[in-house]
Chain A
Amino acid sequence: ELKVEQNPLFLSMQEGKNYTIYCNYSTTSDRLYWYRQDPGKSLESLFVLLSNGAVKQEGRLMASLDTKARLSTLHITAAVHDLSATYFCAVDRDYQLIWGAGTKLIIKP
């Protein structure tokens, strides 16, 4: 059974700091996704990582994928309050997305 684990599940940090969210998954998969969700809202696609060694960056967020280690990271650089949200990773098993539990990120001014 494919399992996806995120850590930490909760993260409170100050503006301007850097931090990393980790996403481990239990069986082979070639596609990993990062989504953002604001309270009561839908899921916004951040990154689609399709191959080993893939690295994508958008603004203060950078995601990477190591398929051999079955690990993806989402790195936040110089955090700002607007990045406060819950971040989910999900792994593609055929057409089913298997989701982590989410990391609730609070960035304090």
Chain B
Amino acid sequence: NAGVMQNPRHLVRRRGQEARLRCSPMKGHSHVYWYRQLPEEGLKFMVYLQKENIIDESGMPKERFSAEFPKEGPSILRIQQVVRGDSAAYFCASSLVPTGIYGYTFGSGTRLTVV
């Protein structure tokens, strides 16, 4: 069981570039969640997706950020025209059912640095 796979582990982007973060959920999990963690803080919810559907994107910034979870392939979190404030660790989690009764499994995260 490979767990939740995120890549890349580290990503460096210059201001104004695009960042693409990928997440493959655990086998059998069809619910994916993205969280952002700033240094020395807890995680903040960004978006919840099921296959081909965005269920809740209430935590996503209104501009520059988008997420998808296509029928085939990993979930993608896309940040356009990155700014220094986007530097953070981005974690993906997946679950078997759309509640946490069986818990959420987290990936190793992508650490984004904007220079």
Q: Which residues of A contact B (CB under 8 A)?
A: 4, 31, 33, 35, 40-43, 45, 48, 50, 88, 90, 92, 94-102
Closest 10 CB pairs of A and B: A99-B42, A42-B108, A96-B45, A43-B106, A92-B100, A99-B43, A48-B103, A42-B106, A101-B42, A95-B48
Contact of A101 with B105 in the complex, beta carbons under 8 Å = no
Q: Which residues of B contact A (CB under 8 A)?
A: 31, 33, 35, 40-45, 48, 55-56, 59, 91, 95, 98-109, 111
Selected from B33, B40, B42, the residue in CB contact (under 8 A) with A95 is B33
CA distance A54 to B101 in the complex (A): 14
Which residues of chain B are near A90, meaning CB under 8 Å? 42-43
Distance between A101 CB and nearest chain B CB, rounded to angstroms: 5
Contact of A33 with B91 in the complex, beta carbons under 8 Å = no
Q: Could you list 22 A-B pairs, sorted by A, with CB under 8 Å?
A: A33-B103, A33-B104, A40-B111, A42-B108, A43-B91, A45-B105, A45-B106, A48-B100, A50-B101, A88-B42, A88-B43, A92-B100, A94-B99, A95-B95, A95-B99, A97-B33, A97-B45, A99-B42, A99-B44, A100-B42, A101-B42, A102-B42
New A-B contacts (9) at CB < 8 Å, excluding given A45-B105, A97-B35: A42-B106, A50-B101, A95-B48, A95-B56, A95-B99, A97-B45, A97-B100, A102-B40, A102-B41
